[in-house]
Amino acid sequence: MGNPIRLPRKPSRIISLVPSQTELLFDLGLDAEVVGITKYCVHPDHWLSRKSIVGGTKNFQIEVIDRLQPDLIIANREENTKDGIEALQKKYPVWVSEIYTLEDAIAMITGVGTLVSRQEKSQEIISAIIAGLENVNLFPPAKVLYLIWRKPWMAAGQNTFIHDMLSKIGLKNCLPEGSRYPELTNDELKSLNPECVLLSSEPYPFREKHIEEIQNILPDTKIMLVDGEMFSWYGSRLVKAGAYFNKLSKS
């Protein structure tokens, strides 16, 4: 958002408003320093019962945040709302990431590591991410559609982190440039004619029962369930992405 933040000392009361960045804080070796997270911050799972829950990513409760008196809040431009972040910035240092590519994610990990004085550990995480993705067996080139929602159908378009991850593993997003997360009708699904549809586990929890529903619309298309965290979480979970993509490419 173009706003500098100044930290007079190493932060000791941190709130994270973004699930993938919450997990990064844990993997950087922080625990007592993190005092608040959202209800969607499911990794590590034990933090949900040990940390104060400040609400959701887009409807966090400022009164709860005020009680926690953070000296650093970590947010994201897409996952949090502009109005909410601006309200918090009047009271607290708020660091906001903006991520569209793997390179942006690596820059974010570097930045967070610097903010919390865990530079060495952040570089270890980055090295592991790069090594894992360098060893990915690229998928056979294919036009894919990555669905994130049902009723209406919504897909990940270009200029998204998901799009960049698809490209990194050799797949071609069949959506043209335009809306980042377009809504699609059944007829539009047919006109896109994807060779493969990837049904994400989040934010909509696609399951086996939904495969038949899509197959009825696209009878000649391969339909696969995928772990959405591996395509959309841009923190330390990326360490696991390379091995997951290699396993997925064999299925």
Answer yes or no: pTM beyond 0.85.
Answer: yes
pLDDT of amino acid 178: 84
Q: What residue type is 166 in one-letter code?
A: L
Measured CA to CA in angstroms, residue 122 lies from 30, 209, 231 at distances of 12, 40, 20
Last residue of a domain, one of 78, 100, 133: 133
How many distinct structural domains can be found in the chain? 2
Residues 118 and 191 placed together within one structural domain of the fold: no
Confidence check: pLDDT of 8 > 90: no
Answer whether residue 97 is part of any domain.
yes
Residues of the domain holding 116: 14-133
Give percent of the chain above pLDDT 90.
Answer: 92
12-22 pLDDT, tens digit each: 999 999 999 99
Distance separating alpha carbons of residues 20 and 16, to the nearest angstrom: 9
Mean pLDDT within 111-128: 97
Distance separating alpha carbons of residues 169 and 146, to the nearest angstrom: 14
Answer whether residue 9 is part of any domain.
no
Distance separating alpha carbons of residues 9 and 66, to the nearest angstrom: 20
Mean pLDDT within 224-243: 98
Distance separating alpha carbons of residues 192 and 143, to the nearest angstrom: 9
